[in-house]
A and B are shown apart, each in its own frame.
Chain A
Amino acid sequence: MIYTKDLSKSYNGTTVLNIEELSIPKGQSFGLVGNNGAGKTTYFSLLLDLIKPTTGNVTNNSVVVHQSEDWKPFTSSFIDESFLIGYLTPDEYFYFIGDLRGQNKADVDTLTSQFEDFFNDEILGKKKYLRDLSKGNQKKVGIVAALIGNPDVIILDEPFANLDPTTQIRLKKILKDLAEKQGVTVLISSHDLMHVTDVCERIVVLEKGDIVKDLETNPTTLKELEAHFASNMTVSQGEE
């Protein structure tokens, strides 16, 4: 589904991302982990053509992302709060996104009504602007909006941050269902190793822009990841 070849991004000569080859098959739930500055958000921004690659390219369903816009109809994403339109209510925002993705009001209502417990009765039908919602509720709106229009690829940057524990658990279930039952390719990044190992079939570790680990998730993965990041710590302490 998503094929990355010789992709690199540098700013003023400093390379922040360098991926030789990465292939994500359809229906895989894919997790990206790494410390700050590892290149997670850079990679997602490249996938969405928000920044220009220095070399190489990303192919999404055989569409070269930075050459054609044909990947947009089947790809959706939520990167950060700047994806929300502050002066709309959540309902209006869903309808707007629905309009852009060719969904009528009824389609959108059907979808959002499935998330009533996820929203915890704080979002739908409330006469409140998005800019006045709390960070966590804003995030919920953004994530659900990314599910509108039956996309084949969903990209979520740090979906678990800012959410309360109940919602985190619900979100994990939603993401798992998407990949397993509906064949959606889900790409998420996270700092929370436990959540990623729970949700993702495959986990890739980025370090300073390079892929250093590419793991199939199994019961020992969490231990392995923890060991990896802990060893990083001792190395950096040793350097000091």
Chain B
Amino acid sequence: MIKHFINLEWKQYFRSSYWQKSLGLNILLVFFALYFIVLFSFFGFFLLKIIKKVYPEQDPFVVANGFLFFWIMIDLMMRFFLQKLPVMSVKPLLTLPIKRSTIVNYVLGKSALNFFNFLPLFAIIPFSIMLIRDDYATPMIITWMFTMIILVFIINFFNFIVEAFSAEKELSFLPLIAVIGTLYGLDYFNILPIKSAIGNALIAVANNPILILIPTAILLLCYWYNFKILRDKLFLDGSLKSKVQEVKVANLSWTKRFGDIAPFMQLDLKLIWRNKRTKSSAFLMVIGLLYGLFFYTQPIYRDSLYAASFVGIFSTGIFLISFGQFIPAWDSGYYKMLMSQNIKYEQYLRSKFILMILSVAIMFVLGIPYIYFGWKILAVHFAAAVYNIGINSHIMLYGGSFNRKKIDLNQRAAFNYQGTGAVQWIIGLPIMLIPLILFSILNYFVAFEVALAFLILIGIVGIVLHKKLMRMITQRYLDSKYKMIDAFSQDN
């Protein structure tokens, strides 16, 4: 049975139009993976030396275990945003003579093979070897190593439980923030010393190998709970079927002032508000807005201004990036219809463009209170906003013409806690990094004012050339029209 599943997966993956058309992206992903493997291995080999240098008085093994709490928190957060339970279209399998438990076990088992579970091994194993070479008792370290591996899998399955809960909430980040916040808070205010408790627990297990049964039991518990959640969802009237929702109607007549693109604006606003996946990209704006507090409350970042250029681009452009990178895939479900309708491509694209620059303007205005941390920070935010409007918005639209992956807004795919995966964030990186680099170089070698003026200037150039750029982008969409229609009418 498993053999058949793997066969299906293989075909689904390699026969998708996405794979064939984005080979470059896949190669990039492989490089990223290799990069992290090397990074983690280095970390594993040199961690012992680093700890000895920084904490010469203490036992390095105990110190390392003391930091595990942070590692667990960060790992959990990374996984929440980047790792999704492997999606498998199970609907066709339900009527076949396959036990539900087989399907669930397969999906869960496959998740264990995720890159996120292998990556820590590249740090854990070298670190263990170094510890043994440093005359720690071999059986103790070996036990510790296996406990750590079990811990990795506990995090893996625990993450899916958190995601399952978050999938049912309107504010999908809430469960994660609640879990992380509670744990961190308990530790920070010394209500429950979780940090040292986890460290001590690990050391205790390492000293008494029989105690390894406890983490094993936790792992089985997490697995069992996941199994229960998923099996309950494997019914046509469960998560496989979309729930019937009452329509919430909002008055959108104010869009009329945008003239001929009003119908598209209304459609886009409904798109954002009525679909879970688009809604979460709108909620990201809140995070983007508060993101600056994280940096500016610390004097090192506040004074450097490099952070400000990053926060500026990120917070004013967060919606631009999270929404813009899926243009026109948001409309992939009915793309054929749009193409046969009496519409001008240029209007369709302009509606998306205006939506994006509106979000940038709104985010900038809402971010004005940051002036509390100094006028320079607000000035950088302004430059970043202009850059986002003039350059990044056009890049996003242009990049969209290469989009070949369909988004199923109706969420029929089972187990799909839809969100953004690793690939999307990698695409978003250059968009944020280029202005950051430009600003940093000029700020360092010339002057703050020049760096600022330069960002604003390129932004304005983009705005001035808007009509021309839009014509170019529209042409690009027209040229790839048939390819897009073809790709969007495929299921994966």
Q: Which residues A74-127 have CB closer than 8 A to chain B?
A: 75, 77, 79, 82-89, 92, 96-97, 99-102, 127
Q: Which of A20-28, A44-52, A181-189 contacts B (4 or more CB under 8 A)?
A: A44-52
Which of B246, B263, B409 is in CB contact (< 8 Å) with A99?
B263
B334 & A50 in contact (Cβ 8 Å cutoff): no
Which of A52, A79, A84, A101 is in CB contact (< 8 Å) with B482?
A52
Q: Which residues from chain B contact A172 at a C-beta distance below 8 Å?
A: none
> Within the assembled complex, what's the spacing in Å between the Cα atoms of A90 and B336?
18
Q: How far is the CB of B162 from chain A (nearest CB, A)?
A: 27
- Residue B200, interface by CB 8 Å: no
Nearest CB to that of A126 among chain B residues? B247
With an 8 Å Cβ cutoff, the count of chain B residues facing the other chain is 30
Q: Which residues from chain A contact B333 at a C-beta distance below 8 Å?
A: 82, 85-86
- Residue B242, interface by CB 8 Å: yes
A85-B244 in contact given A49-B340, A101-B342 (Cβ < 8 Å): no
- Residue A6, interface by CB 8 Å: no
A82-B482 in contact given A87-B270, A92-B270 (Cβ < 8 Å): no
Q: How far is the CB of A42 from chain B (nearest CB, A)?
A: 13
Nearest CB to that of B274 among chain A residues? A87
Q: Among B275, B339, B340, B343, find the residue whose CB has the most chain A CB atoms closer than 10 A.
A: B340
Q: Among A88, A89, A96, A100, find the residue whose CB has the most chain B CB atoms closer than 10 A.
A: A100
> Within the assembled complex, what's the spacing in Å between the Cα atoms of A48 and B247?
32
A83 & B337 in contact (Cβ 8 Å cutoff): yes
- Residue B341, interface by CB 8 Å: yes
B242 & A127 in contact (Cβ 8 Å cutoff): no
Q: Which residues from chain A contact B263 at a C-beta distance below 8 Å?
A: 96, 99-100
- Would you call the interface of chain A mostly helix, strand, loop, or mixed? loop
- Residue A73, interface by CB 8 Å: yes
- Residue B208, interface by CB 8 Å: no
Which of B244, B271, B342, B489 is in CB contact (< 8 Å) with A72?
B342
A residues adjacent to B (C-beta < 8 A): 48-52, 72-73, 75, 77, 79, 82-89, 92, 96-97, 99-102, 127-129, 131-132, 149
B residues adjacent to A (C-beta < 8 A): 242, 244-247, 249, 262-263, 266-267, 270-271, 274-275, 333-337, 339-343, 409-410, 482, 485-486, 489
* Given contact pairs A82-B333, A127-B247, a sample of 20 additional A-B residue pairs in the complex whose CB atoms are under 8 Å apart: A49-B339, A50-B340, A50-B485, A72-B340, A72-B341, A72-B342, A75-B340, A77-B340, A79-B340, A82-B334, A83-B334, A83-B337, A85-B333, A86-B333, A88-B267, A92-B270, A96-B267, A127-B246, A128-B244, A129-B245
